[in-house]
Amino acid sequence: MKLSIVILCWNDIKVIGPCLRSIYSTTHSTDFEVIVSDNGSTDGSIEQIRREFAQTQVIENGVNLRFAKGNNVAIRASRGEYVLILNPDTVIHEGTLDGIVQYADRHPEAGAFGCRVECADGSYQPCVRPLHTIRSEWIAALGLGKLAHLSDWFHPGIYVNWNGETERTAGWLAGCFILVRGELLKRLGGFDEQFFYYYEDADLCRRIWETGYSILYTPKYSITHLGGQSTVNRFDRLAFALDGEITRYLYYYKYGGDRGARRCRTVALVGLAIRRAAYGLLQMAHRTEANRKRLELLRNLFDWNYKLNPIRLVQKGEEPSLNVRVADRVMER
C-alpha cells in the first residue's frame, strides 16, 4: 500500500461527503486506502460514508477522542508507505495526491510534506509556519512582526516575506494536510496526545525535525480547506480559547521545562494587555457588539492567565476559576 489517508470525523456530514468524493475522483495512479476515525458522530456521518463510499474503512471510537487521539487510532491501523493526515473539511484538487506522493519519493531527505492550501475563494491560506519560539511569541505580542521584512529573526510566527508561491522547507505544517512517511510517523507514536487542541501538528513537525528529516512544502499541488467547518459553532467561545491557552503552556513546558512555561505566561500577559488596550480604544471610538465581545474575551483570558500557576497547570491540571460561566469542554482531553 503506497498511501493511507487518515480523516478524523465528528459530526461532519456537511463536509465529509465532498472530501471523500474528491479523493476518489482525483487520485488515479496511487494505490491508497482511506481510513475514517469517527469520534462518536450522531449526525448520520457514518451512515453516509458506508452508504456512498463503501470502500472506505471506518473505525468507530464511540466517544470524542479529540484530534490527536482520534487520528492516532487510524494511524495505528494504517498500512501505507505514506500517511496523509487530512481534515474532513477539505477538497482535493485534481492530481494532488498522485503528485505529492511522487514528489515525496524524489525527496528522501524529508520526512513530511505539505501542499498549497487555498480558501474557498482560491486565496492562499497560510498553513505553513516557522517553529514556535518564545522570541516569536514576544515579537507577535509587541506588534513587531513588520520588522521581519528586514530580517527573518523578527518573524512573528509566520513567514512574512513569503506567500506560498515557491517551494521551501517548513517549520511546521497545519494539521489539515500533512503527508508523513508511515514508518517515521509510527516510530514517533503519531501525535502527542497531551495536545488536545492546537499545537499537536506543530509538535509532530518539531519531532520530525529532531529525527534529522526536513519538512518540505511545494505549491505545485493544492487543496481547498474550508477552514473551521468541522468545529465552527461547537464550543463556548471562551472555553475554546482557554483550551488553546492550555496547550500552549503544555508545548512550552515540553520543550522548555518550568522556565518555558513561566516565560509563556509572561508573554501571554503582555500580549493580552496590549490587545485589551487596543480594543478598548477601538470600542471607545466605534462601539460595536463585535468589539464588545472581543474585549470581554480578552479580559477573561487576561484574568485567567494572571491567576494561573503555569507549573501546577501543566503538572497537575489545575486551572484558575473565573467569575463568568465557561461552558463544559465539549471534547474529552
Domain borders along the chain are 3-126+164-225, 237-316
52's grid cell? 456512498
146's grid cell? 513588520
Provide, for the chain, the percentages of residues in helix, strand and coil under a 3-state DSSP scheme, each rounded to the nearest 5: 45, 20, 35
User: Which ranges of the chain would DSSP assign to H, the alpha helix?
Assistant: 13-26, 45-52, 66-77, 96-105, 134-141, 182-187, 200-210, 237-285, 289-307, 310-316
User: Which ranges of 121-236 would DSSP assign to H, the alpha helix?
Assistant: 134-141, 182-187, 200-210
pLDDT surpassing 80 at residue 333: no
Please name the amino acid found at residue 63. V
Question: Which pLDDT band holds residue 196 (cuts at 50, 70, 90)?
Answer: confident
Q: What class has domain 3-126+164-225? A: alpha beta
C-alpha closest to that of 207 among 223, 186, 222: 186
Alpha carbon distance 19, 174 (integer Å): 17
| CA-to-CA separations, 188 to 88, 199, 205, in angstroms, rounded | 24, 16, 10
If one counts every other C-beta atom within 10 angstroms of the C-beta of residue 77, the result is 14
Reported as a single tens digit per residue, the pLDDT across 224-265 is 999 754 444 444 789 889 999 999 999 999 999 999 999 999
Reported as a single tens digit per residue, the pLDDT across 11-27 is 999 999 999 999 999 99
What pLDDT does residue 225 have? 98
What pLDDT does residue 232 have? 42
